[in-house]
C-alpha cells in the first residue's frame, strides 16, 4: 500500500483556509467588550489568563469604569482587587491605571489607531496592539499568541523559532484580507480540535490532511 502524498505548502495553505472558513465563517471576538477601550483592557487582562476568566472579571471592572476618564480616577488598589483572578494583578492594575491616564492626557481619551502610540502604552505589547488594530479598527494585522504559534508549527507553516518569525511567515503565506478573521479562526480551531493536549500533530483533520504520513507527535518549539 503506497503512502498518501503529503500536501505542498501552497496546498496546505489553501486547505487550511477552506477548512477554517467552513468551520468558522464569522468568528466572534471571544473577549466581551463594547468599544476599543474595553477591548484594549480585556486583551491586556488576557495575558497568561483564559478568555473565559477575563469575561467573568470585566463586567465588575467596567461597571466601575468603562472609559479612560473614569478609570484614571480609580485607585490602583481597587483595580487590582477586581482583576486579581486574572493573575499578574499588581502589574496589570498599574498598567490599566497608567495607560488610562496616558489616553486622557495624550490622546483625548481615545484609543489611538496607531501602532507606535499603542505599543507605547504600558502593558500593551505587539500582540495586544495587533488585536486592537484588527478587531477594533479593521486594520489588517495577525496577532500571534502561543496557541497560533503551536498550530502554525504543526501545520508546517513556520519553523517556530519565535512568535515574531511566525507572524512574518503567516503574513507571507495568507492573503492580507484573511488575516483578521484567520487569527480568530485558528484560535477557535485550536481550542476545539487541535489543543495542546488533544492533538499532537497526528489527530485533528488539518494535521492528518496536511501530513498524512506523520507517525510520531510533532515536536513544537515554545516561543
pLDDT tens digits for range 162-216 = 999 999 999 999 999 999 999 999 999 999 999 999 999 999 999 999 999 999 9
Dihedral angle sign, alpha carbons of residues 64, 67, 72, 77: positive
pTM of the predicted model over 0.85: yes
- State how far the Cα of 179 lies from the Cα of 139, in Å rounded to an integer: 10
Q: Give 25-50 pLDDT, tens digit per residue.
A: 999 999 999 999 999 999 999 999 99
For 97-156, write each residue's pLDDT tens digit: 999 999 999 999 999 999 999 999 999 999 999 999 999 999 999 999 989 999 999 999
Active-site annotation holder among 19, 92, 145, 169: 145
Catalytic one among 51, 127, 215, 222?
127
Name 14's Cβ contacts closer than 8 Å, sequence gap at least 6.
Answer: none
**Catalytic residue list contains 51:** no
C-alpha to C-alpha distance for 42 and 129, rounded to whole angstroms: 12
Domains defined along the chain, listed by start: 9-27+142-210 (1.10.1670.10), 36-135 (1.10.340.30)
Would residue 169 show up in a list of annotated catalytic residues for this protein?
no
Please enumerate in sequence order all residues whose Cβ is within 8 A of that of 40, keeping only pairs 6 or more positions apart, or say none: 99, 111, 121, 124, 128, 132, 136
In sequence order, which residues have a C-beta less than 8 Å from that of residue 70 and are 6 or more positions away?
64
pLDDT for 5: 79
Amino acid at each position: 500500500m503506497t503512502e498518501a502524498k503529503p500536501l505542498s505548502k501552497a496546498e496546505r495553505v489553501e486547505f487550511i483556509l477552506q477548512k477554517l472558513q467552513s468551520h468558522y465563517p464569522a468568528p466572534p471576538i471571544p473577549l466581551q467588550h463594547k468599544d476599543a477601550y474595553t477591548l484594549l483592557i480585556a486583551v491586556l487582562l488576557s495575558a497568561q489568563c483564559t478568555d473565559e476568566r477575563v469575561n467573568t472579571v470585566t463586567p465588575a471592572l467596567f461597571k466601575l469604569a468603562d472609559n479612560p476618564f473614569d478609570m484614571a480616577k480609580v485607585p490602583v488598589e481597587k483595580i487590582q482587587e477586581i482583576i486579581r483572578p486574572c493573575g499578574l494583578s499588581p502589574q496589570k492594575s498599574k498598567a490599566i491605571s497608567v495607560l488610562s491616564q496616558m489616553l486622557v492626557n495624550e490622546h483625548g481619551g481615545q484609543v489611538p489607531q496607531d501602532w507606535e502610540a499603542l505599543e507605547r502604552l504600558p502593558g500593551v505589547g505587539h500582540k495586544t496592539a495587533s488585536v486592537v488594530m484588527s478587531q477594533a479598527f479593521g486594520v489588517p494585522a495577525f496577532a500571534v499568541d502561543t496557541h497560533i504559534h503551536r498550530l502554525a508549527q504543526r501545520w508546517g507553516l513556520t519553523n517556530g523559532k519565535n512568535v515574531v518569525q511566525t507572524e512574518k511567515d503567516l503574513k507571507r503565506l495568507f492573503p492580507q484580507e484573511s488575516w483578521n478573521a484567520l487569527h480568530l479562526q485558528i484560535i477557535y480551531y485550536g481550542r476545539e480540535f487541535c489543543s495542546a493536549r488533544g492533538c499532537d500533530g497526528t489527530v485533528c483533520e488539518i494535521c492528518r490532511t496536511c501530513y498524512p504520513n506523520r507517525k510520531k507527535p510533532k515536536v513544537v518549539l515554545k516561543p
